Structure 1
Amino acid sequence: MTPRPGTGLRPFSIKTKLGTLVVVSVFITTGLLMVALRTETELRFITVFSVIASMLITQFVAHGLTAPLDEMNTVARSISHGDYTRRVSGTGRRDELGDLAVTINRMAEDLEAVDRHRKELVANVSHELRTPIAALRAVLENVVDGVSAADPETMRTALKQTERLGGLVETLLDLSRLDNGVVPLRARRFEVWPYLSGILKEAGLAAGRRRLASGSGNAARADVHLHLDVFPPELTAHADAERLHQVVANLIDNAVKHSPPHGRVTVRARRGDLQGSLVLEVLDEGPGIPEAERHRVFERFNRGSATGGDGGTGLGLAIARWAVGLHGGDIGVAESSRGCRIRVTLPGVPKAAG
């Protein structure tokens, strides 16, 4: 039977080293005693020589054992103070201390990842809550200032944003389960045209309200025309509507930010190659994404060289990639003759499961 890792006597284990130390000390003492008997050397000199030799060997072995322990103690103290970047260097040892060094480094990496994900969670939530809060505030300010009447349509818009806030708050627990891979998907089948039409309407209303709320506003952002292209018109999809809303809303927001004045943003939906799959594309007429940056565009906090300092957090595309990944889909930058084209592919489910 093969022993489990960490059990038994290994060739370079600490037990072996200590046993070797005892054997070497005994051999040295025995050898010196035999020399004393043959040369008639006094026993006291032999004793002194044996003690000195044993101490030197013991000191050499002890230094090899205590030096990495001191380093591990330093690293552990740094970890306890919140510094997860320190690592133990003695991972190449072939004994228990080497195993301990590897374990400490893995623990530091895990804690660093947990701390990073915690910060990313706060950033994600802040980013997602900002848009509906700003839109709701703009609606209420317009009503209070008399710019808009408190008619049912305006109240429905405010209610929609309030419901959006409630849904985002509910995702907090889902995001906390992200690392464990147990984020639930409430997938259902829905018609793509009215669904995307509602998202584009929300984006257009939000842009208009931001312009009214800020006075003159930024015409380059508010005058962007949003266009929807769905074929066939009766196209349906099977996905989590809330998660997909995160994807489309963030892609539209990103496209609008990088569109020229009076530019055009197109949201296109088509059937995918696989049964039940859906292909979504968001196209703009902006400067596009340089090919050298396309592999990094979905990284968190990456705003690229083409952002122009718009003040964004660089989280929108990262959130879109996360939501698409939950569906088992793909997202990437597709080739385009003009501007930028982001393509999302969702696998869907077989019709029998829909």
Structure 2
Amino acid sequence: MKIRRIPIALRLFLTVLLTTLVITTVSLGVLHWNMQRNFTRYVSDVEMQKLDHLIANLAEVYEVYHDWGNSIQAQILQIEGKAGPDDYDRLSRWWLRRQYDIALQQRYFQENTNPLLTVRNIESQGEKHAVDQDELKLLELNLPSQFQPFDGLKFPLSENQNAFRRSNDKDAKKEHAPVNSAQSGKKQFIQMPDRLGLSSRLSLYDAKHHFVVGEPSDDQVSYRAIMVNNQVVGYLGLKPVLDQDDALSINFFSNQKRYLLLVYGLTFAASLLASLLLATYFKKPIQRLLNGTRELTKGNYQHQVKVNRNDELGDLSNELNQLAVILDQHETSRRQWVADTSHELKTPLAVLQAQIEAMQDGIRKPTPEHFASMLGQVNSLKKLTKDLADLAQAEAQQLQCYMTEMNPWDVVLQEVENFKPKFDQAGLTVNAEGEGAVLQLDIDRFKQIMVNLLGNSIRYTETGGKVHLHTVQDAAQWSVYVDDSPLGLSDEQLARLGERFYRADDSRTRATGGTGLGLALSVKMAKAMGGELSFEHSPLGGLRCKLTFPKQMK
């Protein structure tokens, strides 16, 4: 069954779009739910700011009586006369409303009689009209006290006719029969207009949130603590003025919902556009990288991916381009390897074939001398194939080394002694001076390196020249230098030493049987044993070979 592919650009587009939509949906939903849940409480908290004077009065009352029940009972008992059957209950329910009305009157009187408060009130509210002085005078004569909230009443309550008056009643209209405020020194009840309707929504609770008096409510209630001597003695509660089911609330939240839906739509459009641009922004470089990898699989290692980005995709394109360069180098090296190998094998094989054909045609006789010449060609082929096998293992990091403790200087001196006949035959003077050290090396690989270096000096040093060997060492490493006199090398030739089949003087090396693999193999073997073989210009005018190995740390 074929599985339908989803392009990465489409996945990125859908991921960004859906993520934005989910976040927006959840955020707006939580905002709307939280607004519906806490809006009425917020309105109540704002209204509670207007009850500071009442809270201060209640604190003063509690400080005198030390108990809310005692406060209410003591202030009711200040009324003279014989109470009716339900007069105490009526006054208890009315007590908190009366305290609110007293606080409202006191605040109104202070704001309109204190010059500083009057100016501040006019500036903040923009009031232009003058306060009725007759009204203030009447309010001053009958200004109540929070300690005598029922001053002006008498039992039974049914006889308190016309004891109340509204502060804005210009025509002195009474709700009950007239009562002279001068009789017995009793005050008249002046009722302030409660425009916010706070008095019908107030409730009083003790320090443990137990209901005392007022209007109990099952809804959320806003509380303000009543403090006496920095201790909470009670709470003033206010029932919310708004209900989620009333017309005003429904209209308000409907408007808010429309605004939220508009915000949701704009967010959706913006996220759609941003997701599309972002997906396109990532799709183009990814497509170029995909095309680049396809070109590499086809063998087109010259192809370069152009992604001018300062991010991970830009880094990936640079690495892909670098990989293409490396693969191109490896392919070029592989082709050169095959060409050089076939060329090196072709020469001894052609010579051997010619000698055999000459014997078959009777041109050459099968003498020991001719067989020895043929054996020499076979040995050359054998040495070439062995060097190729060792070099291939070294490049594949599979060259086996059997490390053991040894003194490399002893091996150097031994090989110099073995090469003395060849040095004498080439007319070269050899000199060796140095000190040994105890190193962990493969003795056979080390001998092979020294043989290659000494043989290279013989092939590339003119007759009458010199070869000088010496050592340098410190606490960390031991080095042996092989210096020879001209022929010297140019900088370009020096840089290519160590490459496969490279010969500084091809004709001279072929004459002496060199394959061009010795130095390349020596570099690999030194590295396999943890050392390094490098090449420099020699102070004697020829080539300096520096072979360095680390000392074993104790």
TM-score after normalising by structure 1: 0.54
- Selected match of 2:288 from 71, 82, 95: 71
Contact 2:479 2:548 in 1 (8 A): yes
Contact 1:231 1:269 in 2 (8 A): yes
1:74-113, aligned counterparts within 5 Å? Answer: 74-90=291-307, 94=311, 97=313, 101=317, 104-105=320-321, 107-108=323-324, 111-112=327-328
Q: How does 1:173-192 map to 2 (within 5 A)?
A: 173-184=389-400, 191-192=414-415
Q: Which residue of 1 aligns with 2:535?
A: 332
Q: Distance in 2 between matches of 1:46 and 1:347?
A: 74
Residues 483 and 538 in structure 2, CA contact (< 8 A), matched pair in contact too: no
1:71 shift after superposition: 0.7
Task: Give the distance between the partners of 1:55 and 1:323, measured in 2 at CA.
Answer: 64
Give the whole-Å Cα distance in 1 for the aligned partners of 2:453 and 2:345: 14
Q: Is the alpha carbon distance of 1:317 and 1:171 closer, same or farther for their aligned partners in structure 2, counting shifts above 3 Å? A: closer
State the alpha-carbon separation in 2 of the partners of residues 123 and 198 from structure 1.
35
| Number of matched pairs | 289
For 1:270, the aligned partner's letter is L
Between the aligned partners of 1:297 and 1:106, the Cα distance in structure 2 is 22
For residue 182 of structure 1, what is the amino acid of its counterpart? Q
Determine the structure 2 residue equivalent to 1:264.
463
Q: Is the 8 A contact 2:484 2:543 kept in 1?
A: yes
TM-fit CA distance, 1:283: 3.2
- CA, structure 1 residues 166+321, in 2 after alignment: closer, same or farther (shift >3 Å)? closer
Amino acid at match of 1:192: E
- 1:196 and 2:419 are equivalent in the alignment: yes
Provide, for residues 97-156 of structure 1, a one-character-per-residue CA deviation record: whole Å limited to 9, x for no partner.
56754664565455445434423533553465467557767987999867x99445x644
C-alpha separation in 2, matches of 1:40 and 1:349: 80
- Secondary structure of the residue aligned to 1:343 is strand
Q: Which amino acid is the alignment partner of residue 296 of structure 1?
A: A
Gaps of 5+ in 1: 1-13, 202-224, 233-237, 257-262
What is the SS of the residue equivalent to 2:495? coil
Q: How does 1:156-235 map to 2 (within 5 A)?
A: 156=372, 158-184=374-400, 191-193=414-416, 195-196=418-419, 226-231=426-431
Please give the alpha-carbon distance, in whole angstroms, between the structure 2 residues aligned to 1:59 and 1:341. 68
- Cα drift, residue 166 of structure 1: 1.4
The superposition leaves residues 224-251 of structure 1 with CA deviations (integer Å, 9 ceiling, x where unpaired) of: x93243446xxxxx55455555555556
Give the Cα separation in 2 of the matches to 1:129 and 1:266: 32
Matched residues in 2 for 1:55 and 1:186: separation? Answer: 67
Q: In structure 2, the residue corresponding to 1:289 is in which secondary structure?
A: coil
Tell me the secondary structure at the aligned position of residue 334 of structure 2.
Answer: helix
Deviations 1:245-300 (A, max 9, x none): 555555655x38xxxxxx6374736353469975444433x5x434x546524274
Residue 122 (structure 1) aligns with: 338
Inter-CA distance 311–228: structure 2 relative to 1 (3 Å threshold): closer
Give the C-alpha shift of residue 60 in structure 1.
Answer: 0.2
Task: Report the counterpart of residue 341 of structure 1 in structure 2.
Answer: 542
Classify the secondary structure of the residue corresponding to 1:264. Answer: coil
Show CA shifts across 1:179-219 (max 9, x none).
34332468995843575367779xxxxxxxxxxxxxxxxxx
Q: Percent identity?
A: 19
Which amino acid in structure 2 is aligned with residue 62 of structure 1? A
For 1:71 and 1:200, locate their aligned partners in 2 and report how far apart those are by CA, in whole Å.
62
CA 1:293/1:158 → structure 2, altered by over 3 Å: closer, same or farther? same
Structure 2 equivalent of residue 283 of structure 1: 485
- In structure 2, distance between residues paired with 1:269 and 1:131: 34
CA contact (8 A) 1:79 1:108 kept: yes
Relative distance call for 1:329 and 1:67 in structure 2 (3 A) is closer
The residue type equivalent to 1:166 in the other structure is K
Cα distance in 1, alignment partners of residues 355 and 464 from structure 2:
24
Distance in 1, matches of 2:311 and 2:399, equals: 40
Q: 1:173 to 1:281 in 2, by over 3 A?
A: same
Of the candidates 491, 497, 504, which is equivalent to residue 298 of structure 1?
497
- Give the deviation of 1:330 after TM superposition: 2.9
Q: Secondary structure at the match of 2:489?
A: coil
**Contact 2:500–2:520 (CA<8 Å) still a contact in 1?**
no
For the pair shown, which has the larger CA radius of gyration, 1 or 2? 2
1:41-74 C-alpha deviation (Å, 9 max, x unpaired) = 9x9x999977754442222011122112111111
Q: TM-score, normalised by structure 2?
A: 0.38
Distance 1:312 1:182, change over 3 A: same
